[in-house]
Amino acid sequence: MKRISRGLVQMNKDVEEVILSVIDEFSDETGKIAIEDIYRILKQRYNIDRISAGKAIVRLYEKGKIAPIEYYYLRRTD
């Protein structure tokens, strides 16, 4: 059971890192990116589904690594 949990934790961290890299690469000059764009890029490039991405976005928000700045837009905070 612990082995599965460790694998899941690592997968969650990997998805979070991918999301942060997508924000860095595709955000506009003000640092913002539409959530829908994140979902689209994650699906096309990394085959990460919307639910997994959404959960990772919530975790990143709770950790203070991203913040909502406008309706449907995110920005990296660190």
Domain that holds residue 26: 2-76
Mean pLDDT, rounded, of the chain: 87
CATH number at residue 41: 1.10.10.10
What is the per-residue pLDDT across 52-67, written as a single tens digit (0 to 9) for each?
999 999 999 999 999 9
pLDDT above 50 (res 16)? yes
pLDDT at 1: 42
Distance CA 11, CA 47 (A): 13
Domains of the chain: total:
1
Cβ pair 51, 39 in contact under 8 A: no
pLDDT above 90 (res 12)? no
Give the pLDDT of residue 46.
92
Helix (H) or strand (E) holding 34: strand 32-34
Q: Residue 36 — pLDDT band, cuts 50, 70, 90? A: very high
